[in-house]
Amino acid sequence: DHKGVVFSHPKRRIIFNEDISRYAWGKKLLNLKDGKLSYYTYEGLDKIVSSYNSKHYQIKTFSSGYESDIYAMVEPVITSIILFATIGVIIASILIYLFIAKKLKPLEACKNILHEIANGNLSKKYTDKLFNNEIYDMIRTVNETSDKLEHFVKEVINNSTIVASASEQINNAAQDLSS
């Protein structure tokens, strides 16, 4: 209770015969706030205790256990948590890698297209499906640039053909005049 009388204990001889307020550790327990933990040594073994204060029944209850027993119960749980956390990090890393690789695949293709364009192959285009984002905008611009370059080269070739034909006609006319 609030005064330190023990009304429940695994050792029956202590029930209603022990007053924990007589001991320093007992006074410490009686002053322990609800839900807080305290550590003490009992019969040479380390123990952990928590308290609950029932204002309705005007009693303060304590639950204690040996540290070694508590750690023995908690250790497998901690091991499981660490194992699942490690597996979770590995799975998350793989998923992030796959996501980034999928996002970067169009950039690799765009690099290859630009390499082809630089080597004179203006017909190379990116044709795979893209989502409307910055990569899409960049690849669309590369495709448009390739189209414009291809059109420009065709115009240059066409104009060169016209100039060559006109030059040949002028040359033939000049030869006709000189003869």
- Give residue-wise pLDDT tens across range 11-54: 888 878 888 888 887 888 888 888 888 888 878 999 898 888 88
Q: What pLDDT sits at residue 2?
A: 60
**pLDDT mean over 43-68:** 86
User: Is the sign of the CA dihedral 94, 95, 97, 102 positive or negative?
Assistant: positive
CA–CA separation, 61 and 1 (whole Å):
7
Confidence of residue 142 (pLDDT cuts 50, 70, 90): confident
> Burial code of 54-93, b = ≥16 C-beta within 10 A, e = fewer?
eeeeeebebebeeeeeeeeeeeeeeeeeeeeeeeeeeeee
CA–CA separation, 105 and 115 (whole Å):
16
pTM above 0.85, yes or no: no
